[in-house]
Structure 1
Amino acid sequence: MISQDKLNRINELARKSKQEGLSLKEQKEQKELRQEYLDNVRSSFRNQLNSVKVVDEEGTDVTPEKLKKEKAQRGLH
């Protein structure tokens, strides 16, 4: 998970960007922080998705094959 300090810095840079603009160094920092944030969100989403099991009304496992294969590759049966 990304730290609260980094989230605060992302927001600070976004505000500054709208109000007065960013220096090249700040633009680079903003890009790196945003990428780290996105990587973290994607990883969390993948982990959450890998814990999903889809079951129909009759109790039959109807989890998509692609998701089953992903779980098997990660050893998450």
Structure 2
Amino acid sequence: MLPKEKIARINYLSRKSKNEGLTSKEKEEQQSLRQEYLNVFRSSMTDTLHSVKIIDPKGNDVTPQKLRDSKNNRLH
């Protein structure tokens, strides 16, 4: 998770962009912060998916092979 200060800065730059516009330096900062946020989000989502196991009503593991392979690759 990003620190609250960075999330607050992302939100501030977004509001400023809509209301009055950003300088070129602020646009670069906004893009950098957005990319950092997306990287953290994607990593968190991947971790969440790696903890998922899908079971059908009969009790069989029906986790997609692609997810199983991804879990195994991560462990090695």
TM-score between both structures, scaled by the size of structure 1 = 0.95
Alignment partner, residue 46 of structure 2: 46
Alignment of 1:51-70 (within 5 A): 51-70=51-70
Alignment partner, residue 4 of structure 2: 4
Cα deviation 1:2-60 (Å, max 9, x = unaligned): 00000000000001001110000000000000000011110000000010000000111
User: Hey, what's the Cα distance between the residues in 2 that align with 1:25 and 1:16?
Assistant: 13
Question: Structure 1 runs of 4+ off > 2 angstroms?
Answer: none
| CA drift at 1:75 | 1.3
User: Hey, what's the Cα distance between the residues in 2 that align with 1:64 and 1:25?
Assistant: 44
Residue 22, structure 1, aligned to residue 22, structure 2: yes
Matched AA of 1:46: T
User: Hey, what's the Cα distance between the residues in 2 that align with 1:15 and 1:73?
Assistant: 41
Structure 2 spans left out of the alignment, 5+ residues = none
Percent identity, aligned pairs only, is 53
Question: Between Structure 1 and Structure 2, how many residues are aligned?
Answer: 76
